[in-house]
Amino acid sequence: MTTINESPAPIKRTVAALTFIAFDGGEGCGKSTQIQLLRQALEARGKRVLAVRDPGTTRIGELVRSILLDPSSVEMGMRCEMLLYMAARSQMMHEVIAPALARGEIVLTDRFVSSTLAYQLGGDGLTADEIRTAASIALSGRLPDLTIILDMPPELAITRVKRAKDRIEQRPLEYHQRVRENFLSQAKANAQSYRVIDASQSIDVVSAEVWNAISKS
């Protein structure tokens, strides 16, 4: 188990030992597609798998999500944004993730604290330590065993978003470039529990690299 205040032990784990896996990255990087493919691969091997999205999944989380992503929420400060993400995440941990892990299921999440450390870092002066402290309170210290960053240039990724863009997606390219840099910085600083995969490759190639990443972690 990886916690907010601990570095993961430098040991090799089996796929079965990775019970909580996060997929993260910029907008349009293919997280939902890769989660679905990994879920199918794990279930074909007899694993029980739960896929969730952050923010969301619970009734309360979906309500918070609608506020966060609503383009009309223009007055929202970055600290408020960060705390709303943590609140939705806390409810999902309490209501869905922790019980699933206790049942022995593998949980795959579309975004997690790694997103907050990429998207909200620096806004309104927010520091990484402040974000980690909020996450520790919200999640009782529980972080994913492995975080997979699907990396691609934001100018390419954003073209994959075919629906109307939400409040976060509407931010300028320079913002999304900083987000990408923040993701890569996290991965560099947490090499034991992060993996970076080039998401500009074909879906099948990315899927194979995801499987390789969890098999060798």
pTM listed for this prediction: 0.90
Average pLDDT, the chain: 92
Instruction: Give residue 15's pLDDT.
Output: 54
- pLDDT tens digits along 136-174: 999 999 999 999 999 999 998 888 887 888 999 999 999
Residue labelled with tokens 């579309």: 110
Give CA–CA dist 146/45, Å, rounded.
Answer: 19
Architecture of the structural domain at 14-215: 3-Layer(aba) Sandwich (3.40)
Please tell me the distance from the alpha carbon of residue 65 to that of residue 71, in angstroms, as a whole number: 12
Quick: pLDDT tens for 18-35.
Answer: 999 999 999 999 999 999
| Total count of residues recorded for the chain | 217
| Least confident among 5-14, 108-117, 184-193 | 5-14
* pLDDT value at residue 16: 53
Angle between helices 203-215 and 31-44 (to 10 degrees): 60
